Amino acid sequence: MKIVCLGGGHGLAQVLKAISPLSSELTAIIATTDNGGSSGRIRSSEQCVALGDIRRCCLELAGDNSILHTIFQHRFKGGELEGHSLGNLALLGLLQLTDSATEAVAQFNAILGNTQTVLPMSDQTVDLIATMRNGDTVIGECEIDALNELPEHIGLTHNVCADQRAIDAIHHADVVLIGPGSIISSVMPALLVENIAQALKNTAACKIFVENIAQEDSVVAQLKEHSIIDWLQRQVGYKFCDMSLSPQAIAKISNHASCSNNCESQLHNIEQLQSVFTTLFLTKKR
């Protein structure tokens, strides 16, 4: 089964870990607009795409038991490298050598021994921009997530394009999984890229939006659970999914058997997601 996953943050990383054993051809398309933490500092100084979510996803595919997983997750303490992860710096080095985020990610993934395809949503740098009711604009993921009121509109600061490999993967996919994760900072960015949006409109793949188990700690918390998809579709300007997996549906499909005691405090639970995806895809094959 050919599966494409779109998103970012911990959500996409955990979906990839859950879905990898079930897919013969897996492609991850990762949001690159993060402007916080180590990724934000590197973006600011080097004028490049955000690298943190890319690192996280590649390492999840490599597996927790990999020595490279441990090494590249290491964060420096003290000095100018305070807070930077070795994986982010390795990706930056590869980016400077190849002059291409897509090629840098491919080489990083190869170093880890991963056979799956991991792609940034674009090789071009871009930020999220929000327009408020009073006409003011706010630029940056962190700044938008910290708002006290929902923006009237969220978009990208300028048009960017995804690599053709991302578009081909969407066109040829059997299933496209979107989310879970922070709605604005993880789910929205890739959906706003023009050729990704067009590919999602044209693909024959079943597009599934995976909702968060718990309410996220951002301005999106002001939305009622049932209105999140409608709000998101108004923001991106098209129907991006054919169906959604609500927390109730996820719990019912898995019979709550694989949900750990603390899953209600998390945005996603890897064991539960794996149980749900296995059930869905086995049903689809029949």
pLDDT at 193 over 70: yes
Q: Where are the beta strands (DSSP E) in 13-152?
A: 25-30, 117-120, 128-131, 137-139
Contact assessment for residue 1 and residue 208, using Cβ atoms and an 8 Å cutoff:
no
pLDDT at 106 over 60: yes
Q: Which amino acid is at 139?
A: I
Residues above pLDDT 90, as percent of the chain: 67
User: How confident is the model at residue 257, as a pLDDT?
Assistant: 46
* Full-model pTM: 0.91
The domains of the chain are located at 2-34+116-285
Q: What is the distance between the alpha carbons of residues 72 and 255, in angstroms, rounded to a whole number?
A: 36
Contact assessment for residue 236 and residue 228, using Cβ atoms and an 8 Å cutoff:
no
The 10s digit of each residue's pLDDT in 151-180 is 999 999 999 999 999 999 999 999 999 988
User: Coil, helix or strand for 129?
Assistant: strand
Class at the top of the CATH hierarchy for domain 2-34+116-285: alpha beta
Spell out the residues 6+ positions from residue 157 whose beta carbon is closer than 8 angstroms to its own. 126, 127, 128, 129, 139
Q: Which amino acid is at 111?
A: I
Q: Which of 11-15, 40-44, 186-190, 228-232 has the lowest mean pLDDT?
A: 11-15
Q: What is the distance between the alpha carbons of residues 31 and 156, in angstroms, rounded to a whole number?
A: 12
Q: Which amino acid is at 249?
A: A
Q: Where are the beta strands (DSSP E) in the chain?
A: 2-7, 25-30, 117-120, 128-131, 137-139, 153-156, 175-178, 206-210, 243-245
Task: Give the containing element (helix H, strand E) for 224.
Answer: none
User: How confident is the model at residue 156, as a pLDDT?
Assistant: 98
Q: What is the distance between the alpha carbons of residues 220 and 231, in angstroms, rounded to a whole number?
A: 10
* Phi-psi category of residue 30: left, alpha or beta, with phi > 0 → left and psi -120 to 50 → alpha: beta
For residue 110, name the pLDDT band (cuts at 50, 70, 90). very high
